[in-house]
Structure 1
Amino acid sequence: MTKYVLRETALSLLTRIGEQGGFSHVLLDREINKQQLSRQDGGLLTEIVYGTLQRRDLIDYQIQPFIAKQKKIKPWVRWLLYMSIYQMTYLERVPDHAIIHEAVEISKKQGHKGISSLVNGVLRNVQRKGLQSTEAIENPVERLAIETSHPMWLVSRWVDQYGMDVTKEMCEANNHHLPMSVRVQRLRISRQEAMNQLLEDGFAVEESPFSNQGIIVTKGHILKHSLFMDGKVTVQDQSSMLVAEMMDLERGMHVLDACSAPGGKTTHIAEKIEDVGTVTAYDLHAKKAKLVSKKAEELQLTSITAAQADSRKLQDLHEEETFDRLLMDAPCSGLGVLRGKPDIKYHKKEEDIFSLREIQDDLLAHVAPLLKKGGKLIYSTCTVDRHENEEAVKHFLASHPDYEVDPSFFDELPETLKGSIGESAYGLQIFPQEWDTDGFFLVRLIRKG
């Protein structure tokens, strides 16, 4: 793929994501597979799309002096300016003149002479005069929101919950690449065997401190490696691996995964029970439940049964006190995974947090009777908002006196995580800046016998 076509593709993706609400990771993966892009071209396309999305609000602020006189700029032209300035500012390998030339050529092809003149003029002005500084913004919260391209409501909310320092670190971390991590299928290969193979093949890898099945891949394209192709490793963020690690699982247990797609945690549970026992997995959407079955098949796990169901109605399908362990990985705002899905921060609204919390409360209340007395329930989310996390747990415990936070939960955390800034009486909040992972929350509850 020529660099011109690649940038044209990036513009098309950015416009669809930014204006039509498409999911960045889905559209990118689809395009890379459809075009059968090389690793290098796929990497550059991903860098331009993700980088531009991550820095959108900052770039918009910085170029205002150059576009202020324009009455209306078409959305695709605005995205073309954003992605061009992102490349000029953050990508050192490509010379400015090549970026400007290709942006002008794209604008000629997709627009008219007036648009290409505008694009050329703005980019050359930026090249000569530099970008507008944020120093003039007096409100520190507003300045942080613009400098890190997070919506003002979100930054204000985090500052209220965690203070300025933690929020600043979190916002800055969200604009940096998330290292790839994988989990070995422990019934088929050991972590050391997998690491040895990867090292022999030129990868740079290290052990995850979160899971004895986890490997952090700092160099190498794991998705093309035979270990991944053969289902001996699967991609999973380290924070997500912590769920099965903290479920206190044993061989032969009966486990319910109430919101299971796409199946990373489900399959990890099956591995922890040595594929002996049962893992009953549900998802609200049939298509997503099929993804769980597919993942189980890829990893050669037979203890998993996945089906479509609304987990608020599982009492129609199962007797009370059926399961030894229960996972409620609740649908949430996803504000902990902005590094891999930067578009979330522009599409979410504050009211979404409150409507999702109602669903979280309902789900917990409806699945709680299915756990045996003495059984353990993990509640987890991939968000960093207290309303969806600690406050949801607090609310559940207030209305379910037969449940409590498992006293041994904090003692059994990996040594790395003990004493974390996100530890509270109601669980562990993992921030993305702490261990270079997704933002994540989890707690283990126990049903009193």
Structure 2
Amino acid sequence: MHKKSNKQLNSRAAAAKVCWQIIDQGRSLDSALNDYIANQQPSVKDKGFVQEVVYGVCRWYGELDQVSKKYLRSPIRKKDRVVHFILLVGFYQLRHLQTADHAAVAETVQACKQLNKVWAKKLVNGCLRNHQRSPAEVSNPINLSHGEWLQGQIIEAWPNHSLAIMHANNQRPPMCLRVNTTHQSRDDYLEKLEKAKIAATIDQSSPDGIILGQPVSVNKLPEFNVGACSVQDTAAQLAAHILEAKPGDTILDACAAPGGKTAHMLERMENKGLMHALDISEKRCEQLHETLARLSFDASVFCADATLPPTWSPPEHGYDKILIDAPCSGLGVIRRHPDIKHHRRADDIQKLNAIQQKLIENLWQLLKPGGTMLYMTCSILPSENDHQIKRFLSSNKEAHAVAVAHPSALSLEHGVQTLQGVHAMDGFYYALLQKAS
């Protein structure tokens, strides 16, 4: 547990502390940021600034770390590592933001005192001033900001697209909305956004999608609290269309939380049919309930492990459709979750592969003859994607892959793949399987 802190930190000190927790201590970005917000209750301006800097340092850590080495005579001791992150927060402002130089330096130096490292003020001030006078050149900042293992995986999987993928991983992603078309048409909602002075355009790849010109707080989105729209990347929005959810279907959403795809399928079903939504985590099941409540949809939510025999009651003759949004490395959504760069390890992939295999094999038993299953991940690694489907099809003669109707993906042997930086969406894999009648 992390102790609650009542000491009010300036935004640079807060950003440095949060980055230190994420990168050195292995906390998730969401959890560390949410704790900061709960403990410090920052102003809207400070919250936005800290968020920008934390995401930025996580994205550009490799480059910023390299820069720090050009100005430090020796590495900062482990017990003082938070000072390293104070420095990186300063370098990020000077290299990637439009912050006035004097503010970037003075406020960042002040963070040393706030984090009980007064001795470091002179060091931080000297490094940042030296950078102002003579900015460090860094070769290949994009590649640098991907660890060796991660860079190797991307190049091996997608040699012709690796630079585009790594470049995209370091960009701020767009905020995408999915309009709840049981409330109103997409065009009607676009008009409401225009009246609210929120710049937006139609998402060319998703029939329900809208892309905002700038991210905004969900509280500013018209009728968000009564379910008019949801925040969801284009790639995730396509799942309900590929599975062709329709009124009267019986559907199992096997790894459902936080519920975006569950809700989208219910929108397509016009809330008519049977929806079973599972998640292994009780806490995440609470998120599922919240999503469904906001959208006024009905689904039976079960906290269950989908790799094991069912502890709930599936339909007697099986489900018409099953969606498996499988746990994966998340290497297709790094631009939204840059902490993945710091937390993902090689041995994670083997563990995830074993879970993915169990999910497909176990849930296939619950699909009725003639039914369809959509296996998807937000990964770009073949071992989590086409290789899984190939293995399953080779040992299961009553299964065959069906062509996936997708607006812009790369076609693979059995499924299709989008890549961040290549397609206008996150990196996702989809394979549609049908059971013999």
Q: TM-score when scaled to structure 2?
A: 0.92
Q: Does 1:263 align with 2:250?
A: no
CA distance in 2, matches of 1:445, 1:101: 59
What corresponds to 1:311 in structure 2? 306
Between the aligned partners of 1:228 and 1:33, the Cα distance in structure 2 is: 23
Aligned 1:212-223 pairs, distance under 5 A: 212-219=207-214, 221-223=216-218
Residue of structure 1 equivalent to 2:378: 382
Q: 1:346 aligns with which of 342, 348, 351?
A: 342
Choose the corresponding residue for 1:434, options 422, 425, 430: 422
C-alpha separation in 1, matches of 2:177 and 2:126: 46
Partner of 1:138: none
Q: Name the CA distance, whole Å, in 2 between partners of 1:344 and 1:119.
A: 28
**Which of these residues, 185, 197, 201, is aligned with residue 192 of structure 2?**
197
The one of 84, 95, 102 aligned to 1:97? 102
Q: 1:144 to 1:51 in 2, by over 3 A?
A: closer
Partner of residue 108, structure 1: 113
Cα distance in 1 between the residues matched to 2:367 and 2:214: 42
**Preserved CA contact (<8 Å) 1:62 1:131:** yes
How big is the shift at 1:129?
A: 2.2
Aligned to 2:5: none
2:17 matches 1:12: yes
Q: 1:131 aligns with which of 127, 132, 136?
A: 136
Secondary structure (helix, strand or coil) at the match of 2:190 reads helix
Deviations 1:317-359 (A, max 9, x none): 4367410000011001111111111111111111111110011
- Aligned in 2, Cα 1:275/1:332: closer, same or farther, shift over 3 Å? same
Q: 2:92 aligns with which of 61, 82, 86?
A: 86
What is the deviation of 1:32?
4.0
1:181-196 maps to which residues of 2 (within 5 A)?
181-196=176-191
Report the counterpart of residue 406 of structure 2 in structure 1: 413
Question: In the aligned structure 2, how far is the partner of 1:119 from the partner of 1:15?
Answer: 16
Q: Which amino acid aligns with 2:300?
A: T
- Give how far 1:242 is off: 0.6
Structure 1, unaligned stretches of length 5 or more? 136-142
Structure-2 separation of matches of 1:231 and 1:401:
42
1:139 maps to none
2:143 maps to what in 1? 145
Give the CA deviation at 1:122. 1.4
Alignment of 1:22-421 (within 5 A): 22-32=27-37, 35=40, 37-70=42-75, 72=77, 74-92=80-98, 94-134=99-139, 145-146=143-144, 149-163=145-159, 165-219=160-214, 221-224=216-219, 225-302=221-298, 304-315=299-310, 317=312, 318=314, 321-407=317-403, 409=404, 412-414=405-407, 417=408, 420=409
Secondary structure of the residue that 1:442 maps to in structure 2? strand
- Determine helix, strand or coil for the equivalent of 1:281: strand
Q: Distance in 1 between matches of 2:50 and 2:165?
A: 25
CA distance in structure 1 between the aligned counterparts of 2:19 and 2:353, rounded to whole angstroms: 30
- Alignment partners' CA distance in 1, 2:307 and 2:76: 50
Residues 212, 15 of structure 1: CA spacing in aligned structure 2 closer, same or farther, 3 A cutoff?
same
CA distance in 1, matches of 2:142, 2:47: 31
The Cα RMSD (Å) is 2.0
Indicate conservation of the 8 Å contact 1:204/1:220, yes or no.
no
Question: The residue matched to 1:375 in structure 2 has which SS?
Answer: strand
Cα deviations by residue, 1:286-334 (Å, 9 ceiling, x for unpaired)? 22112112211110112x1111011122445436741000001100111
Q: 1:49 to 1:349 in 2, by over 3 A?
A: same
TM-aligned CA deviation for residue 41 of structure 1: 3.2
How far residue 124 of structure 1 moved from its aligned partner, in angstroms, is: 1.6
Between the aligned partners of 1:81 and 1:396, the Cα distance in structure 2 is 49
Q: Percent identity?
A: 30
Question: Alpha-carbon deviations, 1:74-124, whole Å to 9, x = none?
Answer: 2100000111100011112x2222221122222134345532121112112
State the shift of 1:210 in Å.
2.8
- Secondary structure at the aligned position of 1:130 is classed as coil
With 397-406 and 220-229 compared, the bigger mean Cα shift is at 220-229
Contact 2:175–2:215 (CA<8 Å) still a contact in 1? no
Deviations 1:7-31 (A, max 9, x none): 2221221121122212113332454
State the 1:425 CA deviation: 1.9
Picking from 424, 428, 433, the partner of 2:412 is 424
Alpha-carbon separation, structure 2, partners of 1:430 and 1:162: 11
Output the TM-score relative to the length of structure 1: 0.90
Alignment partners' CA distance in 2, 1:343 and 1:113 = 29
Q: 1:227 to 1:30 in 2, by over 3 A?
A: farther
Tell me, in whole angstroms, the C-alpha distance in 2 between the residues paired with 1:176 and 1:398.
Answer: 39
Task: Call closer, same or farther: CA 1:179–1:44 in 2, change over 3 Å.
Answer: same
Residue 434 of structure 1: SS of its match in structure 2? coil
1:406 and 1:54 mapped to 2: Cα distance?
37
Q: CA deviation at 1:434?
A: 2.5
Shift of residue 128 of structure 1? 1.8
Aligned-pair distance for 1:283?
0.6
